[in-house]
Chains A and B, each alone.
Chain A
Amino acid sequence: MSAMPREIARLVDRMRAARARHAPLQIVGGGTKAFYGEAPRGEPLCLRDLAGITSYEPSELVVTVRAGTPLAELENALAAKGQCLPFEPPRFASGGTVGGMVAAGIAGPSRAAVGALRDYVLGLTLLDGRGELLRFGGQVMKNVAGYDISRLIAGSWGVLGIICEVSLKVLAAPADTATLEFEWGEQRALQELARWRAQPLPLRASAWCDGGLRIRLAGSRAAVLEARTRLGGTAVDRQAAFAFWQSVRDHRHEFFALAADELEQGTALWRLSVPPTAEPCSLSGRQFIEWGGAQRWWRTGAPAAELRAAGVGAGGHATLVRAADKSAGAFAPVGGELMRIHRALKDAFDPERILNPGRLYADL
């Protein structure tokens, strides 16, 4: 076995010591998503020293990165070679890390067109709650050797193990983009989005708010040009469009900004993840729709039970993203047999409940 990097060896020691003392650890990257999910608890275990791009082969479309690497550093390295992370992970603040990105598993505006973050995870090295370094997946596009544990880890909020290093599939940045705007109400916007979905269009993202629908086209110059002609609408200036999509991706758009006093007065930011064809929900508050109708954000003071019922009623679920009071649970509860499997998986990887306890659900 080759020598273990010093930072990893230190991490293994730290993990084993915490386990011996039964002392919970909260895994910390850039701390930019501490607000998301249930509150972190336990001694902070900072991964920022475990940084750097281990290997990057543009012609393989694969990059291998240590968990503490700033996301911005990775995105810059990819951009220098004309490539990108197609799933557009949000940057809620500056300083977010690649490990945090994978652990949260959140994708941005292009999700419906390009797939989820986990679709781009090829493999990872995990230090699990039993203090063992494990490698799952690899650096190749197709790999069905053993269960796909690396993709289970994506979006697991650190409750199964500490991501040390991850290999990601990357893609070429689109050759051309264009943004079109339509003055449509919610019903009409959802109908048109459904119609377009079944057509071979280079539709990369959509955002509807306050009676206006914006869509982003991305692809070859020929495809974008043809779609612009076919779809009509009003073209949005390139720079303004870029800034708009960045603000949606990173939640800097004014819709997502909740001032302290608004939070105090009970307004919360909810995320409804529903089938794209779900009927419009009649909730009080203001709505922002993405992903062709599959992601519907609500700024509302309505009771949690009402939001949760709306999510389930539409065939999806509701997440309480920003709120002064998260006693209703940040994430929608998971049913009986599935929860039993969740607990059994926690027992398999972190039997003493050392890693990020309660970050996802109280008993994980």
Chain B
Amino acid sequence: MNLPTYPKSRDPHGEDPHGEDPRHAEAVRLAVRSVEVAAALARVLPAGAILAGREQTQPYECDGLTAFRVLPMIVVLPENEAQLAAALRTCHRLGVPVVARGAGTGLSGGALPHRAGVTVSLAKFNKILKVDPLSCTAVVQCGVRNLAISEAAAPFGLYYAPDPSSQIACTIGGNVAENSGGVHCLKYGLTLHNVMRVRGLTAAGEPVEFGSEALDVPGLDLLAIVIGSEGMLAVTTEVTVKLVPRPELARCMLASFATVEDAGEAVANVIAKGIVPAGLELMDRRMTEVAENFVHAGYDLSAAAILLCESDGTPEEVEEEIAAMSRVLTASGATRIEVSRDEAQRLKFWSGRKNAFPASGGISPDYMCMDSTIPRRKLAQMLLAIEGMEVKYGLRCVNVFHAGDGNLHPLILFDASDPDQFRRCELFGAEILEESLRFGGTITGEHGVGVEKLNSMCVQFSPAERDRFLAVKRAFDAQELLNPGKVIPTLQRCAEYGKMHVHRGMMPFPELPRF
């Protein structure tokens, strides 16, 4: 995977770097604490399961968002639920923050360590416990990779539908934490729609089960809130996922458009016709060029934007849907339409889209990937707004969208060795998020808030709403030990961010109805 690098590591929990003495005192306190906590953990875990010291903990200092790096105080690698429970109980008793970690592929810093905390690597929870073709479910441990589930289900003609682009590496536990999507979630749903049951442990080490292998549970639907909670409510250990029959056939169409407005309109028209394509992706001209140069997928370089539309199902269904989509796309002004002849060509069409990120890494030293969602009908307006921002911040941006569900991944290109470019890039990103809110959207569609979008949470939610998030957190974890400091910004942080953004005593976006 080609991940961006950044000029300097930043520790959101860190002290003021200019005051030398407090930092030294803090380092001493940390070292003492580390010895105390390691000794307590050593009483409940096997010797090899505890890592301490920079050489051992450095591999855990960041996740896929490498701009943020923090050395964890201690890393533990429990082998089973009993060991995990013992580690959690120990940390709970000592008041030590705990950050659970899967494969570390997250893009918002959700698995960023806490400098005075324990990072729990769940890498050893890697067994597929059951694949049941009769109930169409699989029971897997949290550290099982997303793609490994589909591979295990393949002999039964089944698969696990959500396919985040990191699916070769990311784990189901991480998918539960982030409510991950993928290019096929328009038709098949997100993690939320495909997970039936989550077993885990609370911060206090108590076993809990959310959801069920039945289709509902008595009482409140806690599963709905645990999925996407970014590891702040419980540590997932085991997951029951829904499996779906693999479609007999899939075909992909490439449609070219002379303007991005036409392409955006075409997306809305396809959906309005009642068609739910298996995938519906949009790439702007620059992204198309970059991807084409990288993998030679056969994209039309003369188009202002291209759409990839996938249809799957029985051969009869696919034929009917491809014909219907062709009619809509042509009526929406498509200048060229090409339908994949066979599976090899279909995969070739997708290869450009799937390599959008690495391809961008090839034309720029660094890039920052945004993740907001907007109503589909605003796609073209958003692209035009981003063009304006490119001029304003003096940086280029290539655009690839999960257009079918309005989820944007603009990639802002910059050079991290130039601190001013990094600063402009951050401002550019924040403006995309706030523009998305103005269009009636949200700051994150599938990558999560983590530490990356804490400031934008101040804009999207009122103080009372943020207070309820915190209250939910405390309902599960009264001492706020699980992944503290993520997702919910402090009042102070929002006050400071507000000072930069609020003018003349107005709320951000006074035109947005609060109801």
Say whether A245 faces chain B, with CB atoms less than 8 Å apart.
Answer: no
Number of chain A residues close to chain B: CB under 8 A: 93
* A-contacting residues, B203-235, CB 8 Å: 206-209, 212-222, 224-225, 227-229, 233
The chain B residue with its CB closest to the CB of A152 is B225
A200 touches B406 (CB 8 A): no
Report if B317 contacts A (CB, 8 A): yes
Q: Are B457 and A57 in contact (CB under 8 A)?
A: no
B402 touches A142 (CB 8 A): yes
User: Which of B136, B179, B212 is A148 in contact with, Cβ under 8 Å?
Assistant: B179
Determine the distance from Cα of A78 to Cα of B94 in the docked complex, in whole angstroms. 56
What are 7 inter-chain pairs, A to B, with CB distance below 8 A?
Answer: A142-B185, A142-B442, A146-B461, A155-B221, A160-B220, A219-B317, A222-B319
CB contact under 8 A between A316 and B212, given known A1-B510, A141-B405, A223-B314: yes
B215 and A111 form a contact (CB under 8 A): yes
A71 → chain B, closest Cβ, in Å? 20
Report yes or no: B515 in contact with A147, Cβ–Cβ below 8 A: no
Of B53-61, B382-390, B469-477, the one contacting chain A is B469-477
Interface string of A147-158 (1 = CB under 8 A from B): 111011011100
Which residues in A have their C-beta under 8 angstroms from that of B469? 146-147, 149
B218, B405, B514: the one within 8 Å of A334 (CB): B218
List residues of chain A with CB within 8 A of the CB of B464. 132-134
- Interface flag for B83 (CB, 8 Å): no
User: How many contacts A-B (CB < 8 Å)?
Assistant: 278
Please, what's the 1-or-0 string for B179-209, where 1 marks a CB less than 8 Å from any CB in chain A?
A: 1010001100110110000000010001111
> A197-B134, A275-B213 given as contacts; is B441 within 8 A of A138 (CB)?
yes
Not counting A142-B446, A148-B224, A348-B475, a sample of 10 additional A-B residue pairs whose C-beta atoms are within 8 angstroms of each other reads A59-B377, A60-B375, A128-B468, A133-B515, A142-B407, A146-B465, A148-B228, A152-B221, A338-B208, A341-B208
Residue interface bits A166-202, CB-to-B below 8 A is 1, else 0:
0000011101000000000000000000110111110
Instruction: Say yes or no: is A94 at the interface (Cβ < 8 Å to chain B).
Output: no
Q: Note all chain B residues with C-beta closer than 8 A to A134.
A: 462, 464-465, 468
Please report the C-alpha to C-alpha distance between residue A5 and residue B225 in the assembled complex, in whole angstroms: 29
**Distance between Cα atoms of A334 and B214 in the complex (Å):** 15
Q: A226-B316, A345-B472 are in contact. Are A146 and B488 (CB under 8 A)?
A: yes
* A142 & B377 in contact (Cβ 8 Å cutoff): no
Stretch at the interface among A15-23, A114-122, A208-216, A236-244: A114-122
Residue of A nearest to B213 (CB): A275
A144 touches B228 (CB 8 A): yes
Proximity bits, A335-352, B CB within 8 Å = 1, else 0: 001110110110111000
Considering residues B272, B320, B443, which has the most beta carbons from chain A within 10 angstroms of its beta carbon? B272
Chain A residue with minimal CB distance to B221? A155
Bound together, the chains give a CA A345 to CA B457 distance in angstroms of 22
A62–B405 Cα distance when bound, in Å, is 11
Chain B residue contacts of A291, Cβ below 8 A: 215
Most buried by B among A58, A145, A199, A222: A145
Contact of B213 among A132, A160, A315, A349 (CB under 8 A): A315
* Cα distance, A205 to B206, chains bound together (Å): 38
**A-B pairs with lowest CB-CB distance, top 8:** A172-B274, A222-B316, A348-B471, A344-B475, A316-B214, A59-B272, A142-B445, A151-B224
CB atoms of A144 and B157 under 8 A apart? no
Q: A199 to B192, alpha carbons, bound, how many Å?
A: 22
Asked if B269 lies at the interface with its beta carbon under 8 angstroms from chain A, I say yes
